[in-house]
Structure 1
Amino acid sequence: MAAIIGLRDGLSTGIGLNGGLYSPAKEKASLRGVYNSRSPYLLRRIRLLLGIGKFKLLLALCVFIALLFVGSKIGSFMGWNPHYSSSVSSPSRGGYTVLINTWKRNSLLKQAVGHYASCSGADAIRVVWSESDPPSVSLKAYLKGIVQSKSQTAHKPNLKFDLNEEDNLNNRFKPIEDLRTDAIFSVDDDVIVPCTTLDMAFTVWQSASSTMVGFVPRMHWLDVEKDGVAYYKYGGWWSVWWTGTYSMVLSKAAFFHRKYLDLYTYTMSSSIRDYVTRERNCEDIAMSLLVANATGAPPIWVKGKIYEIGASGISSLQGHSNRRNKCLNDFISLYGAMPLVSTNLKAVDARHEWFW
C-alpha cells in the first residue's frame, strides 16, 4: 500500500519512474519498451523516404505507359505502323503468290513489285500483262533487281510475267500452272497493302481458305421485287460504312484459293466471261459471286489501312454505279438465284485498336 502511495506521489509531483521529469508520452513509450535513443525517428524517416520512392517509381511507370500508348496511336493516325515480325514463312505450300494486274503503268508496277517483294510471306510475284507489246528487257531486268534488293528473306520471291496479247479483264483470273502456293493475293498495281497487314489477312485466310478474304468490302441489297423478279442494288463503301454490312470483297486487294482460277475460267458460265469482255467491267463482282456460290458463305473483310498510289480509276467515272447495278443483276439472272451472303463481321488486329 505504501508503494502505491509513493508511486502516486511521484506522478503528482512530476517525477518519473526513473527520477526525471514526468512526461505522459515518455511514460507510455517506456512502458511499451519502444522509446530509446533516436532509432524510431530514423526508422520513420526511412519508411517515409521509401514511401516517396515507391510513389515516384509508380508515377514514372504510369507516365511511360501513357507515352507508349499515345505514341502508338499517333503513329497509327499518321499512317505509320511499326514493323512486327512475320510468322507466315512458308512450309511446302505455305506463303502466298502476289498476283498483280497491270496495264500501261510501269511506274506503279515498279512500286508495287518493290513493296510486295519486301513482304516475308510472298513466295512468288506474278504480273498479269495484257498489252500487245511484251514487257521490255530493261523493265524485266529492273524488276528482277528490285526483287533481289527488297526481299528480306533468304528465299527470294519468284517473279514472272503472264503474257496476254489481248486487253481483257478476264486475264487476271487465268489459271497458273507452276504455282507453289494455294493462296493467291490478287491486287491492282496501284494498291499497296503494308506487309504486316497483309500477313494478318493471310493468317485469317488460312483459317477459312475456301472463302475470299480482303480489304475492300462492298454490299448488295434488295431494291424492288416485281412479278416475282428481284432487282438488287450494288452498294459502295459508304453503304458498307452506313449499314455495317457487306457481302463482297473486291479482288483489287483480296486472298482466295488458287482453285477459283480454274473455276472462273473453265466452270463459271461463259456468258459471264463474255459479259466482262464486252463491258470491260465487273470481273470482281463475277469472282465474288463465284466464290459465294461455291461456298454458301460470306467473305471476310479485314480491317486495315491500304494505300492507292495511282490516279482515280473507272470507279470515278460517271455512270459507274449504274453499270455495277446492271452487272450484278445480269449475273444473278444467269445463276438463277442470289449467291451472295451478307455479314457484319470483320477481322481486326487488336494491336491497333483503342479497345479490344
Structure 2
Amino acid sequence: TPDSVAATFSKGVVITEYIYVAFQGAFAAITVALILGAFAERIKFSAVLLFSVLWFTFSYLPVAHMVWYWAGPDAYVSAEAAEAANATAGFLFQHGALDFAGGTVVHINAAVAGLVGAFLVGKRIGFGRESFAPHSLTLTIVGAALLWVGWFGFNAGSALEANGSAALAFVNTWVATAAAAFSWLLVEWLVKGKPSGLGAASGAVAGLVAITPAAGFVGPVGAIVMGLLAGAICLWGVNGLKRMLGADDSLDVFGVHGVGGILGAILTGVFAAPSLGGTGIWDYVANKAADTYSIADQVIVQATAVGITVVWSAVVAFIAYKLVDMFVGLRVAEDEEREGLDITSHGESAYHQ
C-alpha cells in the first residue's frame, strides 16, 4: 500500500516501498538491456525476449539478492541481534562484499552474459573486413551525456536517502567519470595520434562503471584515481583484450562494463580504507565506522564476489542461450542481417532515405 515502507541505511529512517520497487526495477531493466549490446544487429527479437526472462530470473535476481539483501539497520541493536540478522542476509552481503550501486550485480553480471552471447550468436557478417563505426557520432555523444546525467540518480540514489552518503556518491560519479574520459583521451592521443569524441564518450562510460561499486565508500581523490585507471585499462579492454578473446562484442560490453566493473569492484576494497580517504566499514551496532579496516582482507572479499558473479552469470547465460536456440533459434537469416533488422524484424526504418 502507499503506507508500506522499506529500510534505508540509517536507523529509524525509511522510504516508501513503492519508490524502492521502482528504483530497483530500473536497475533490473537496465542490466538486461546492457547485455544486448554485445550481439547487436544479428539476433532474433524473439530470442532476446525469451533470453531476457530466463537470465533475469536465474542470474540477475540471485546475484542481486546475494549482494544486497539484508534485514536493514534497525535489526542491529546488539552483537547477538546483528549476528542473527546477518544470518538472514544474502550470501555475499554476509561475507562483507561492498557494492554501492551495482558493480557486481549490474555491470559484471551483464557483461559476462553479453560475452557468452557474443561467442554463441557468432560474429556479424563482414566483421573484421568492413568498418562498423557508429552510424551517428552525434547521437553516440548525446547518449553518453544522457547516461552520465542518469547515472547520478543511479549512484547517488543508491544511498536511499538525501544525505552525506548520497552527496559523496554524487561527487565521486562526477570526478571519476571526468578522470576516466580524460585518461582514455590521453592514452588514445598517445597511441593513435588523435584524441576522439568517441574515445571521450567511451572513457566516460568506463569511469561510470568503475565508480559504481565504490561510489559511497571512497573519497573523491580515490574516485579520481579509480577513474584515471579505468579510462586507460578499459581502452585496453576494447582493443587488446577484445582481440585476445576473439568475440564480436559489438558495443564492447565486456571491454567496458566487464573490465571496468571488475576493476571498480576490486579497487573498492582498496580505496574504501579510511587511511585512503574512504568511509571504511560501518558498524551498525555501535552506529559508527568500524575501528579497523584491512585492505588485503577486503580485496579478497571483493575478488570472491567478482569470481562468484562471473561464474554464476556465465553458467546461467550459457544454459539460457542454449535453451533459446533450441526453441526459437538465436540468429537471424543472413539476408535479413544484410538488409538490417530495423526493416526485417520490425518493419520500420530509422532514417528515411
TM-score normalised by the chain length of structure 2: 0.23
Q: If each structure's strand is expressed as a fraction of its own residues, which one has the higher value?
A: 1
